[in-house]
Amino acid sequence: MESYYAVIGDPIDHSLSPLMHTAGYRALGLEAKYLRFRVSRDQLKDAAIGLRSLGFAGWNVTIPHKEAIISYLDELTPAAVAAGAVNTVKNSEGRLIGHNTDGEGFIRAVSESVSSWQGKTAVILGAGGAARGIAQALNEKGMRLIILNRTAGKAEELARLLRQNGGEVCAGKLAAGPWLSEADLVVQTTPVGLGGEPYPLSLQGIREGTLAVDIIYKPWQTPFLREAENLGCRTMNGLAMFLHQGALAWEFWRGEQAPLPAMRAALAEEKARVEPVAKGKPTRDNIALIGFMATGKSSVGRRLALALNWEFIDTDEEIEKVSGLSVAEMFQRHGETRFRSEENLVLRRLGRMRHYVIATGGGMVVNEENRGLLAERALIISLYAPLDKILERVGDRAQRPLLRGPREKIEALWQARQSVYGQADLIVDTSELDVDGVVREILRELSKMPAGAQEPGEMEPGGEEDR
């Protein structure tokens, strides 16, 4: 009988759990499947009930549900109780048992890089579910702990819990301070960096040789790790911890040793697949995604930025942040001319940015000046889909001002833009690919480009100006 496992969280698209566990099942010839589900906070209860009812043998829990999931479980292991958080759930004949592998997974991952624990100082950035498990494990190793969090009260709450177990623990607000010079180990446990965004805290003052660990494993090198490396620290991303957590979850669910070599090999292969592109290509400073509405520019852009270890920006979202209006509201209140003006301002504000994946509005490049600005700054990739596929994807057209109206009008708009989209440096047909498939295709094409061959061509003037 086939067994089913899963991972739930939000965001979840970055998770490599399905790849890792599937490699393990394949190595042992097991009939099992591992799926991932995006579950928002208000869907968590229904997700727990549903997974139990459907007979899932177990599932992993990631951001932001590690603490909230406890309310929907029947039992906790001592590790979960100590951590105050759950990242692994076992369905034992309808009884849900919560476990935490964060602490043990972390210790196994960093043991080769730490010669001794007792009396050393560890700084933990964040006080969420993962931080709890790691802090508990380091406390048991006899380390002095400094816990810093954006909300100081939450850091102090965790510190009080650890002091009850005899730990030497300080807590405070996440801010620059003398703690850096005291650290033998710094552990970054927050989601910051998952999307490539800059780390909000400077690491100036950290001692050379300090071990800096970011439990995020994708992107492979977060802004936190990049700065730490530049300051002479030893660095480690979350991939090794992720591997050992997966093995521990396997053992908890199945009561048998995990096929660690097969799981490790799958992760290494995935890293090798994307790392050469992330480190060496593209040679242009940025990548801009253009194309008609509903070709996947935003979703592909976010995933591509993760793969390249770059940052992501959506020009429509930037306009909404500045104006306080949705795109649909801006069209309704101020008209298209105002929107086009805002698009141009966004491009100019980006200035001399480097290592960004830029998702543009569908009509941005029909403006000649915008085309010139993008061509100066980025390799331009056009995402294509036929009109029928676009209309199938869109659904509610109310949020797409220029898709309101009869098909003939939309088709004329789509057709008029193809000549402009066709001037891109690279064109990818998205019609039969999911988001991961589109990203893989882009990475494959980038890897073929020799150094210097990715200089963007000039996009010719002309074309109607519409979104």
Question: What residues act catalytically?
Answer: 66
Question: In angstroms, rounded to a whole number, what is the distance separating the alpha carbons of residues 224 and 349?
Answer: 25
Rounded to the nearest 10 degrees, what angle do helices 387-394 and 407-421 cross at?
Answer: 120
Determine whether the annotation assigns residue 130 to a binding site. yes
Length of the chain: 467
Is-contact 155 149, C-beta < 8 A?
yes
Per the annotation, does 120 bind a ligand? Answer: no
103 is in an annotated binding site: no
Q: Is 215 annotated as a binding residue?
A: yes
Tell me the β-bridge partners of 289: 359, 381
Q: Any known ligand binding at 291?
A: no
> Is 316 part of any known ligand binding site?
yes
Q: Is 98 annotated as a binding residue?
A: no
Distance CA(333)–CA(343), nearest Å, equals 16
At 383, the amino acid letter reads: L
Q: Is 415 annotated as a binding residue?
A: no
> Does 268 show up as a binding residue in the annotation?
no
Q: Does the annotation list 153 as a binding residue?
A: yes
55 labelled binding-site residue: no
Pick from 51, 53, 43, 66: which is nearest to 6 by CA? 51
The answer to whether 294 is annotated as binding is yes
- Asked if residue 87 belongs to a known ligand binding site, the reply is yes
431 annotated among ligand-binding-site residues: no
388 is in an annotated binding site: no
Tell whether residue 149 is among the known ligand binding residues: yes
Q: How is the beta sheet containing 88-92 ordered, strand by strand?
A: 32-38, 3-9, 58-61, 88-92, 95-99, 75-76
Q: Which of 427, 447, 458 is nearest to 291 (CA)?
A: 427
**Contact indicator for 385, 429 with CB cutoff of 8 Å:** yes
Buried b (16+ CB within 10 A) or exposed e, 335-353: eeeebbebbeebbeebeee
- Per the structure block, which two tokens stand in for 109? 């991952």
166 assigned ligand-binding residue = no
Cβ of 14: how many Cβ atoms within 10 Å?
Answer: 18
| Residue list for the binding site for ATP | 294-299, 400
| Residue list for the binding site for shikimate | 15-17, 62, 87, 102, 217, 245
| Residue list for the binding site for NADP(+) | 126-130, 149-154, 215, 238
| Residue list for the binding site for Mg(2+) | 298
| Residue list for the binding site for substrate | 316, 340, 362, 417
| Residue list for the binding site | 15-17, 62, 87, 102, 126-130, 149-154, 215, 217, 238, 245, 294-299, 316, 340, 362, 400, 417
